[in-house]
Structure 1
Amino acid sequence: MADTFFTLHCKGQEDPIYISEVVEKAMNPTFRFFDLSSFGPATTRLDTVTVKVWVKRKDFTPLIEEEVNLQSLQFIGALKNHPFPPNCILFHLVDGIYTIDIASKPPKPKAAESLPTSSFSALMRLSNLDESIQDALATREELTSQINAILHSEPKDDAPQAEEELALASRYVAAEKKLLKSSIRRRAELKASIKSRSDAIKSGNEVQAKVLDDINNAQDKLSDCRSLLTTATADIHGQRRRICEELLNIFPIEPTTQPLLFTICGLPLPNSSFEDADEDVVSAALGYVARLVDMLQYYLAIPLPYPISPYGSRSIIHDFISILSDNQRTFPLYTKGTVRFRFDYGVFLLNKNIESLAESQGLKVMDIRQTLPNLKYLLYVCSAGSSDLPARKAGGIRGLLTGRGMEIGSRRGSADSGIGGGQGEAVRRALENGGVETKGPSSIKKAGNGAHPHPPAPFGGNHVHSLRTSGLRENVIR
Structure 2
Amino acid sequence: MAQSTSQSSSLNQAEGTWLLPSNRKLRNLVSISLRNISLADPCPSRSRSKAIDDDALPQTLKSPAKLVALREQKALGHSRSSTDLHAVLEEAATHSAATDEAVVNGSPVAGEQKQRTPGAALDSPRRPEFKRLRRRSTIEWANATPQKRQERLENMTKERMADVFFSVHVKCVEEPVYVSETVQKTMNPTFRHIAWLNCGPGVTRRKELSLRVWARGAKLGSWQQLLHLKLELSALQYLGRSLDDLDRSLPQNAVLFHMIDGIYTSFSDSLSDYGPPGPDSSQRKKTAASQRSLPTSSFDALLRLSKLDDSIQDALATRDQLAHGLEVLLQNNRQALCERDEVAETEDRLMTIDYAKKTVEKQLEKAQKQQEEKRQSLSVRRRLMKTDSVLRGAIAKKMRQDRSDSYTSRDEHDATRRAVQNQRRRVCEDIQRCYPIETVDGKTLGFSIRELHLPNSEDLDLEQPEVVSAALGHVAHVLQLLAFYLKQNLPYPVIPRGSNSTVYDPISLLQHNSRSASANAEQTLRTYPLFSKSVPRFRFEYAVFLLNQDIRVLLESAYNLRVLDIRQTLPNLKYLLFVATAGEGELPARKAGGVRGLMRVPALERSGSQDSTASGMSGLTLIGNGKPRGAADRLREISGKGKNAVPV
TM range (shorter): 0.5 to 0.7
The structure 1 residue matched to 2:323, chosen from 136, 140, 147, is 140
The structure 2 residue matched to 1:340, chosen from 524, 532, 537, is 537
Instruction: Return the offset for 1:415.
Output: 13
Distance 1:154 1:356 in 2: 101
- What's 1:169 paired with? 353
Instruction: Return the offset for 1:148.
Output: 1.5
Structure 1, residues 439-470: CA drift from partner, whole Å, max 9, x if none?
A: xxxxxxxxxxxxxxxxx9x89xx985765698
Deviates more, 1:236-245 or 1:317-326: 317-326
The structure 1 residue matched to 2:420, chosen from 228, 236, 239, is 236
Deviates more, 1:348-357 or 1:131-140: 131-140
Q: Is the 8 A contact 2:447 2:570 kept in 1?
A: yes
1:255 aligns with 2:451: no
Letter in 2 for 1:312: G
The structure 1 residue matched to 2:570, chosen from 357, 364, 372, is 372
- What's 1:407 paired with? 603
The structure 2 residue matched to 1:359, chosen from 556, 561, 566, is 556
Cα gap change, 1:305 to 1:202, in 2 (>3 Å) = same
Unaligned runs of 5+ in 1: 1-70, 74-105, 425-455, 471-478
- What's 1:274 paired with? 460
Cα gap change, 1:119 to 1:402, in 2 (>3 Å) = farther
1:220 aligns with 2:418: no
Instruction: Return the offset for 1:309.
Output: 0.7
Q: Is the 8 A contact 2:509 2:526 kept in 1?
A: no
1:284 aligns with 2:470: yes
> What aligned pairs does 1:5-44 form with structure 2 within 5 A after superposition?
none
The structure 2 residue matched to 1:322, chosen from 472, 492, 508, is 508
Q: Is the 8 A contact 1:409 1:415 kept in 2?
A: no
Q: Secondary structure at the match of 2:461?
A: coil
Cα gap change, 1:465 to 1:266, in 2 (>3 Å) = closer
Q: Secondary structure at the match of 1:305?
A: coil
The structure 2 residue matched to 1:312, chosen from 498, 515, 520, is 498
Q: Is the 8 A contact 1:306 1:317 kept in 2?
A: yes
- RMSD of aligned residue pairs (Cα, Å): 3.9
Instruction: Return the offset for 1:416.
Output: 9.4
- What's 2:373 paired with? 189
Structure 1, residues 253-300: CA drift from partner, whole Å, max 9, x if none?
A: 111112222121112222232334222222222221111111011112
Letter in 2 for 1:339: P
Q: How many residues align?
A: 334
Cα gap change, 1:153 to 1:160, in 2 (>3 Å) = closer
Instruction: Return the offset for 1:363.
Output: 2.4
- What's 1:387 paired with? 585
Distance 2:338 2:487 in 1: 109
- What's 2:364 paired with? 180
Cα gap change, 1:161 to 1:463, in 2 (>3 Å) = same
1:150 aligns with 2:333: yes
Letter in 2 for 1:186: Q
Distance 2:451 2:324 in 1: 135
Deviates more, 1:382-391 or 1:199-208: 199-208
1:298 aligns with 2:496: no
Distance 1:358 1:255 in 2: 21
Q: Secondary structure at the match of 1:254?
A: strand
The structure 2 residue matched to 1:206, chosen from 390, 395, 408, is 390
Q: Is the 8 A contact 2:473 2:499 kept in 1?
A: yes
Q: Secondary structure at the match of 2:416?
A: helix
Q: Is the 8 A contact 2:598 2:615 kept in 1?
A: no
Cα gap change, 1:175 to 1:315, in 2 (>3 Å) = same
Q: TM-score, normalised by structure 1?
A: 0.60
Q: TM-score, normalised by structure 2?
A: 0.45
Cα gap change, 1:400 to 1:148, in 2 (>3 Å) = farther
Distance 2:246 2:305 in 1: 37
Letter in 2 for 1:373: P
Distance 2:346 2:528 in 1: 104
More helix by share: 2
- What's 2:37 paired with? none
Q: Is the 8 A contact 2:430 2:631 kept in 1?
A: no
Cα gap change, 1:115 to 1:385, in 2 (>3 Å) = farther
Letter in 2 for 1:353: D
Cα gap change, 1:168 to 1:287, in 2 (>3 Å) = closer
Deviates more, 1:181-190 or 1:411-420: 411-420
Q: Is the 8 A contact 1:394 1:465 kept in 2?
A: no
Q: Which of structures 1 and 2 has the larger relative contact order (alpha carbons within 8 angstroms, sep 6+)?
A: 2
Letter in 2 for 1:381: V
Instruction: Return the offset for 1:304.
Output: 1.0
Q: Is the 8 A contact 1:261 1:268 kept in 2?
A: yes
Instruction: Return the offset for 1:326.
Output: 3.5
Instruction: Return the offset for 1:385.
Output: 2.4
Instruction: Return the offset for 1:330.
Output: 1.0
Q: Is the 8 A contact 2:476 2:496 kept in 1?
A: yes
Distance 1:378 1:160 in 2: 102
The structure 1 residue matched to 2:304, chosen from 116, 121, 139, is 121
Q: Secondary structure at the match of 1:320?
A: coil
Q: Is the 8 A contact 1:306 1:318 kept in 2?
A: yes
Structure 1, residues 14-68: CA drift from partner, whole Å, max 9, x if none?
A: xxxxxxxxxxxxxxxxxxxxxxxxxxxxxxxxxxxxxxxxxxxxxxxxxxxxxxx
Q: Is the 8 A contact 2:492 2:505 kept in 1?
A: yes
Letter in 2 for 1:119: L
Cα gap change, 1:409 to 1:263, in 2 (>3 Å) = closer
Structure 1, residues 138-158: CA drift from partner, whole Å, max 9, x if none?
A: 321232133223324899466
> What aligned pairs does 1:410-425 form with structure 2 within 5 A after superposition?
410-412=606-608, 417=613, 419-420=615-616
Distance 2:587 2:434 in 1: 16
Q: Is the 8 A contact 1:332 1:346 kept in 2?
A: yes
